[in-house]
Chain A
Amino acid sequence: MIEMDGIEKKILEEVAEIHGIPQGAYNIRYNGEAQARQSTKDIQITPKEDGTGIDIRIADGTVNQSCCIPVVIAKTGLRDVVTNDFYIGENCDIVIVAGCGIHNCGDQDSQHDGLHRFFVGKNSKVKYVERHYGEAENGTKGGNIMNPVTEIYLEEGAQMEMESTQIKGIDSTKRDTRAVVKENASIVIKERLLTNGTQFAESRMDAELVGENSSANFISRSVATDQSKTTYYSNIVGKAPCHGHSECDAIIIGEGKVLAVPALDAADPDAALIHEAAIGKIAGEQLIKLQTLGLTEEEAEAAIVEGFLK
């Protein structure tokens, strides 16, 4: 039985919504080292021989199971680099939760750079939830930095939905997500980002649609407040008859800045690709409507942001 302190428990709740030890297969990484691990009959978690991370192998036909691999950093000045590979068999239906939380208790930067690679077998369905969260002790100056890279390879008929959320306390992030999508396979990426203070977030999403009837759908919603800055780049390359959609909505509050650069590349005449991007302040009429329901302007703004990032 592992011992967890209050900070670790709180961070695990924030990033993985787990209370104590999770059910099923899990791997908890704490301050750069594996703290607890459990495999199941169908989900085997093993450390890589070179010590750089873990391999997660999910057997063919594994359904209604989940795998949770949260990372907690509660040390100042730690730079944690990890590579985790997911080998998902055919005809699976699973949920993977992989949050990362940093509690910085000092004046040095703490950083987590994770590379996650997903090799999803034919006709498998994967829901991947990734939450990033940071906090600092009062008066400390150390920054919280996360640079996650996600590579996704979808075999024929595979479906993957990725939900990525970063709402609090990450001072700098560069997120890079790439997918290669084969015949009849689909990738959906939903991203929610909130930056405040002087935080900086950059998100890149790339999809290569290589198979007939493949699809990609990117939905990014971000809120940049104070003097923070958010940048969104997306690139969907259609190399076959396929469907691609990229949507970026951003709200600016205060002096926040947002850059959205959606790119489409139709390399096949039957590639149907769409992008939408909308950036702006909260509409005055939205605030007025919620004020007529009895909310103050500040409460109305909070309700609009909460709904937008839900």
Chain B
Amino acid sequence: MLELKHLKYNVEDEQGKKEILNDVSLSIPDGKFIVITGPNGGGKSTLAKTIAGIYRPSGGQILLDGEDITELGITERARLGISFAFQQPVRFKGIEVFDLLKLASGNKEMSQGQACRYLSEVGLCARDYINREVDASLSGGELKRIEIATVLARGSKLSIFDEPEAGIDLWSFTNLIRVFEQIKEETQGTILIISHQERILDIADEIVVIEKGRIAKSGPKEEVLPAILGSDSAIPGCHVQKEQEETVR
């Protein structure tokens, strides 16, 4: 169970103090598929990064299975079972895809077969990618899939994805959704996704809408989704992309 209690995150700029998160409280039980949505600039990504420890909250508490993790760093939180897939994955000169998967899994002796399985899950032909460097030679879409594969390899109880669909190119939403379902099944854990794509919202157990740093709505998908359809919080997929996916399938 992940609990956020009165979470605040402020930044100071030339115009003074700005509240990015303002009194966010939320309880996420285990095994749930949660999508956090809301208009751009509303605080979604900040909330995800605050949970992963990348940002330190200005106030409030974060509890994981009853343990207060508010003061813990990124590493400690990762070791307690929080994974994070970045919206814009980082590139590394020299580190190969296989290296990254080994680091993610914590298993230096990971077999090629196992690494291949993770890559296949995200639609990459393992033979072509396993020894590729995670550098500028990879496209944004390839990098994004490798990022998701690292979360698969982690197999942790809370997996956070920051806009996972962005840059996924021709690889279909259907496959992406299958990956989420698989993570959920294998880890029996919680999946928390930042997205405003209607098709991702559609597979959520629960939806949380964040606007102006506050929770505007939250509840089961059946209740929340109809209320936000057509707004900035639930954008339908692009027609061209849908047609391409149909062709690929």
Contact = CB atoms under 8 A, between A and B. Distances in A.
Interface in A188-210: none
B94 A291 contact: no
Contacts of B173: none
Contact of A307 (B52, B90, B92): B92
Given A303-B103, A307-B99, A292 B94 contact: no
Interface stretch (B77-85, B113-121, B213-221, B235-243): B77-85
A307 B75 contact: no
Contacts of B170: none
A310 B92 CA distance: 12
A230 to B, nearest CB: 16
A250 to B, nearest CB: 11
A294 B94 CA distance: 20
* Contact residues of B: prevailing secondary structure: mixed
A294 B92 contact: no
Contacts of A268: none
A285 B54 CA distance: 10
B74 interface: yes
Nearest to A251: B93
Contact of A308 (B83, B86, B89, B93): B93
A115 interface: no
A291 B154 CA distance: 12
Interface in B132-156: 150, 154
Interface string A282-310: 01011011111111110000011001111
Interface in A266-293: 283, 285-286, 288-293
Contacts of B99: 303, 307
Contacts of B82: 292
B227 interface: no
Given A293-B78, A294-B79, A295-B75, A303 B86 contact: no
A221 interface: yes
A37 B172 CA distance: 62
B94 A293 contact: no
B96 interface: yes
Interface in B92-115: 92-96, 99, 103-104, 106
B92 A291 contact: no
A26 to B, nearest CB: 30
A293 B104 contact: yes
B73 interface: yes
Contacts of B73: 291
A304 B95 contact: yes
Contacts of B83: 292
A259 B106 CA distance: 36
23 contacts: A285-B90, A286-B92, A288-B54, A289-B90, A291-B75, A292-B54, A292-B82, A292-B84, A293-B103, A293-B104, A294-B79, A294-B106, A294-B154, A297-B75, A303-B99, A303-B103, A304-B92, A304-B95, A307-B92, A307-B93, A307-B95, A308-B92, A308-B94
Interface of A: 221, 249, 283, 285-286, 288-297, 303-304, 307-310
